[in-house]
Amino acid sequence: MFRKLFLNKDFFLLWTGQIVSQIGDKFYGIALAWWVLQRTNSSVMMGLFMAASVLPGLIFSIFAGVFIDKWNRKMIIIMSDMMRGICVIMIAILSAMNILVLWHIFVAAILISLCSAFFDPTVKAIIPQIVKAEQLPRANSLSEMVDAASIIIGPVLGAAFVSFFGFTIVFLINGLSYLNSAFFESFMTIPSHMDSHSDAYTLRYEIGRGIKYLLSRRKIVITIGVIGIAHFFVGALIVSLPFLAKALSGDNIQTLGNLEMMLGVGMLLGALSIQVRAKSHIKDNNLFVFIAAMGILYVSIAITKAITNSVALPYMILLCLVGIVIANASVYWQSMLQLNTSNDMAGRVFSISSMVGEISLPISYGLFGILLKYTSISILMLFSGLALVLISLILMHLYTSKKIY
């Protein structure tokens, strides 16, 4: 099934590097969170650490897009992985010497976040350069499979490795995984993409040119809007899951783990379904259909919650279906952006799309967390589901409208 796509050496090398680094990244994430918790036992410090892991890359992403379009993209992903690898290996060394302290962790989190601001959009911008247009759905679904697999097995293996081998080994594994990823990527051959505009133009001018390009293309704007909306309402589900698990089983954390695992299993199945269907073209309307389907599943969760609070199986099935829909929507929006964006603007467009998605989640966590104080999970899921269906229909109409601006 993967034969034709994997005969493309460059995509295979990129994909292999992603597997190694992303699973290692999940190792590192759970180890760092547990290390901070053990050393500080402070929810404030945990919150600050999470902010340090996200905000620097989020703030810098709009600038990173310009450099992604101006610089050699192959070197960007190699250097990003190498810098992340060296950074984490230094953490491992400090841990082994028993001199690792909190500020080391914060500095590492900031540096890794900045590297990710370059790496993540560059990978999405590179894929259309190394695979044919008709292969984009399959290429993006393979990347989605890596994300899903790392969500399912990364935290489990990371927790097990911390228990058996300690923090230092887990840090070392993650650092080496980044360097291993850079090694694979170094053998890639990426066609030239250089922007025809002179390097003499200022950063401010290039950012403005990217924003002007984006705003002049309705389909790109609407697709990025879908990304923000989808992330926002996924946040509603993520915030609700711990409360749902507690209602189902009291204080049994295993129920929460099972629910989250089924979401990851669904994402993996969704990515696999695209490979099985082997579609060679993208139907724009399908993105909005998947968003509406997510809304219907949210409504189903609300109805199920009103019926039963004691059986986890229906929720596990529904969460698996939500994961399938999320994976399909993710593949579609990535493919639609890649097909509708010129190569010399891809870095800026994908940086902005990543920024929109990253901003939507923390806003969603805060807002829906507050709402859950005053309402029930059933009402929250019902509201979110109906909103998703309505918004998807409106955006589909705007996207397919004949009017062009």
Do 203-405 and 1-188 fall under one CATH topology?
Answer: yes
Q: Minimal CA–CA distance to 182: which of 71, 83, 70?
A: 83
Residue whose tokens read 């409106």: 394
Poorest-pLDDT segment among 5-9, 282-286, 386-390: 5-9
- Give the pLDDT mean for 134-150: 82
The residue that leads in pLDDT, 27 or 403, is 27
pLDDT in tens, 234-293: 988 888 887 888 788 665 556 777 787 888 889 889 988 887 765 556 677 889 999 999
Residue 9 has pLDDT above 60, yes or no: yes
The pLDDT of residue 404 is 45
Determine if the pTM surpasses 0.75. yes
The residue that leads in pLDDT, 129 or 362, is 129
Angle between helices 136-165 and 167-185 (to 10 degrees): 150
Residue 310 has pLDDT above 80, yes or no: no
Pure H helices in 131-217: 136-165, 167-185, 203-215
pLDDT in tens, 89-105: 999 999 999 999 989 98
Domain residue ranges in the chain: 1-188, 203-405
CB 52 within 8 A of CB 107: no
Those residues whose C-beta lies under 8 Å from the C-beta of residue 228, and which sit 6 or more positions away, are 356, 357, 359, 360
Homologous superfamily of domain range 203-405: MFS general substrate transporter like domains (1.20.1250.20)
Pure H helices in 216-345: 218-249, 253-277, 284-307, 313-340
* Cα gap 324→327, rounded to integer Å: 5
Q: Minimal CA–CA distance to 172: which of 79, 94, 76, 103?
A: 94
* Cα gap 176→187, rounded to integer Å: 18
The pLDDT of residue 1 is 46
% of the chain at pLDDT higher than 90? 27
Residue 396 has pLDDT above 70, yes or no: yes
Residue whose tokens read 């960007």: 76
Those residues whose C-beta lies under 8 Å from the C-beta of residue 125, and which sit 6 or more positions away, are 68, 69, 73, 193, 343, 346, 347, 350
Angle at 362 between CA 356 and CA 363, to 5 degrees: 80
% of the chain at pLDDT higher than 70? 90
**With bands split at pLDDT 50, 70 and 90, how would you rate the model's confidence at 386?**
very high
Query: How many Å from the N-terminal Cα to the C-terminal Cα in the chain?
Result: 41
Q: What is the DSSP letter of 99?
A: -
- Give the pLDDT mean for 187-212: 73
* Strand ranges (E), 39-102: none
- Give the pLDDT mean for 185-200: 68
The pLDDT of residue 405 is 41
- Give the pLDDT mean for 210-239: 89
**With bands split at pLDDT 50, 70 and 90, how would you rate the model's confidence at 322?**
very high
Residue type, 337: L
User: Residue 289 to residues 44, 82, 92, 156, 295: CA-CA distances in angstroms?
Assistant: 40, 40, 46, 33, 10
Residue 294 has pLDDT above 70, yes or no: yes
The pLDDT of residue 193 is 59
The pLDDT of residue 137 is 85
Return the SS3 of 198: coil
Architecture of the 1-188 domain: Up-down Bundle (1.20)
CB 128 within 8 A of CB 4: no
**With bands split at pLDDT 50, 70 and 90, how would you rate the model's confidence at 59?**
confident
Q: Minimal CA–CA distance to 214: which of 77, 73, 66, 361?
A: 66
* Cα gap 111→132, rounded to integer Å: 34
CB 288 within 8 A of CB 368: no
